[in-house]
Amino acid sequence: MTDEQGTSGAILVVGGGISGLTSALEAAEVGNDVFLIDKNPYFGGRVAQLNEYFPKMCPPSCGLEINFRRIRDNRKIRTYTMATVESISGGPGNYDVTLEIAPRYVNSNCTGCGDCTAACPDEIDNPFNFGMNKCKAAYLPHEMAFPRRYVIAKDALSADGAAAVKDACKYDAVDLDMQSEKVTLNVASIIWATGWTPYDAAKIDNLKFNESNAIVTNMMVERMAAPSGPTAGKIVVPGSDKEIESIAFVQCAGSRDENHLEFCSYVCCMATFKQMNYIREQYPEAKIYVYYIDLRTPGKYEKFREKLMADENATFIKGKVADINVEADGTVTVIAENAITGNKVQQTVDMAVLATGMQPEMAEGGAPAGLTLDSNGFVLSDLQKGLIGAGCAKKAADVATTTQSSTAAALKAIQVSRR
């Protein structure tokens, strides 16, 4: 156990996605000591997995890398990856927080040379690409990973694999005996920026996610469209090189549905318009069908919607998808009731994309001591206790809204630390 007491008024930020990065920087740049932790082996959260992000349609590196540089340059911020909160005691202004740090099996000698990956004979399903391809069991989580340090999936290593990765590392960075560690921090307040996880599409029985490779989720499309993704940027039916002649987007897949997520995830309509763009760039003639309850593109996003709705090869059908049939030839048939005509409509396509929503990460695991969640699992901030929600941990939102709420969270945390 290591004691790492923060100076009086230190702030702990749990979650290092765009929200946690923003809160950490805002608080540190006015002089507060900040501890920033993430359960992943890297910072950047879900934004790192996007191909491009609206409204500017730039790659995630354009927003994340500048934040990584600011974090690296700021001596007020201490970072921990593969770290989660094990326990919290004390009270506002004086919390003792014990972190559990999982073993990475690669120590700080790692230079990122990649020799261990080259030597490793064993593979795992690539977690960053939702298992759509394999990566080595000794790997860099993704090309933009910060910190740029490799990680080893020790359970997936064969005896030969273990020897090979150890021998390959010239810097003595591979440590397969590494154990989990505990670190205790003393902080005045805690910002919860734990973000979201894609709603589990397998839970939506009628949409048959597990029954066909031709039924994918919107986040899988983000990875496929990314040049560093499992198909080197080509959107195809996973597991084949089948090019797309027709595609259906199924909006509100599990969202606004009391059996799944009862709320609107705010970004899924925009994400679909963005992904229509990806399809158009690769398949200028493909037929696109969008099934929706309402199309929600607030404020400045209206222009984006108008542009894509003018696409002559795109059809928008107002109606909730009731079923998807998997056909013998690998195509899928989307069945819905048209809410305007009242008719049952069906369309066979090469691929169906389920626009699944953002479930708060804490919805499944529950709240740590002292923290209150609403019925959907979003954090309810408590300023008196100095426990503050930020970003998608608090409300499903786009990056712009998330960063605003994270700046606000930092200001609240600073107030608590200076009481």
Ligand X SMILES: Cc1cc2nc3c(=O)[nH]c(=O)nc-3n(C[C@H](O)[C@H](O)[C@H](O)COP(=O)(O)OP(=O)(O)OC[C@H]3O[C@@H](n4cnc5c(N)ncnc54)[C@H](O)[C@@H]3O)c2cc1C
**46 near ligand X (CB under 6 A):** yes
Residue type at 104 in one-letter notation: R
3-class state of residue 344 by DSSP: strand
- Residue 356 CA to residue 23 CA, distance in Å, equals 27
Least distance to ligand X from the beta carbon of 412, Å? 16
| Structural tokens at position 41 | 């082996």
| Structural tokens at position 110 | 């790692």
Nearer to ligand SF4, 26 or 115 (CB): 115
Q: Work out what residue 116 binds among ligand X, ligand SF4, none; the CB cut-off runs from 5 to 8 Å by kind.
A: ligand SF4
Question: Alpha carbon 270 to chain centroid distance?
Answer: 16
Q: H helices of 283-357, where?
A: 302-309
DSSP H or E stretch at residue 380: strand 379-380
Q: Give the contact letters, 209-238, x = binds to ligand X (CB under 6 A), - = no.
A: ---------xx--x----------------
Contact pick of 87, 94, 111, 341 for ligand SF4 (by CB under 6 A): 111
- Residue 139 CA to residue 411 CA, distance in Å, equals 37
| Structural tokens at position 109 | 């000698």
**131 near ligand SF4 (CB under 6 A):** no
Q: Which residue has the tokens 């107002």?
A: 318
- Residue 289 CA to residue 332 CA, distance in Å, equals 13
Nearer to ligand SF4, 110 or 215 (CB): 110
**413 near ligand X (CB under 6 A):** no
Least distance to ligand SF4 from the beta carbon of 161, Å? 13
Nearest C-alpha neighbor of 240 from the set 319, 160, 167, 329: 329
Q: Give the contact letters, 79-98, x = binds to ligand X (CB under 6 A), - = no.
A: -----x--------------
Largest CA distance in the chain: 68
Q: Give the contact letters, 137-176, x = binds to ligand SF4 (CB under 6 A), - = no.
A: -------------x-----------------xx-x-xx--
Contact pick of 37, 190, 204, 413 for ligand X (by CB under 6 A): 37
**398 near ligand X (CB under 6 A):** yes
- Residue 13 CA to residue 186 CA, distance in Å, equals 13
Q: Which segment (24-32, 36-44, 240-248, 310-318) binds ligand X by CB under 6 A?
A: 36-44
Nearest C-alpha neighbor of 134 from the set 147, 125, 122, 121: 125
Contact pick of 267, 286, 352, 379 for ligand X (by CB under 6 A): 267
Q: Work out what residue 54 binds among ligand X, ligand SF4, none; the CB cut-off runs from 5 to 8 Å by kind.
A: ligand X
Is residue 312 within 8 Å of residue 259, measured between CB atoms?
Answer: no
Q: H helices of 226-378, where?
A: 268-282, 302-309, 362-365
Within positions 198 to 237, which residues make up the interface with ligand SF4, using CB under 6 A? Answer: none
Q: Which positions lie near ligand SF4, rule CB under 6 A?
A: 106, 110-116, 150, 168-169, 171, 173-174
Q: Which positions lie near ligand X, rule CB under 6 A?
A: 14-20, 37-40, 45-47, 50, 53-54, 84, 193-196, 218-219, 222, 267, 271, 274, 358, 361, 391-392, 397-400, 402
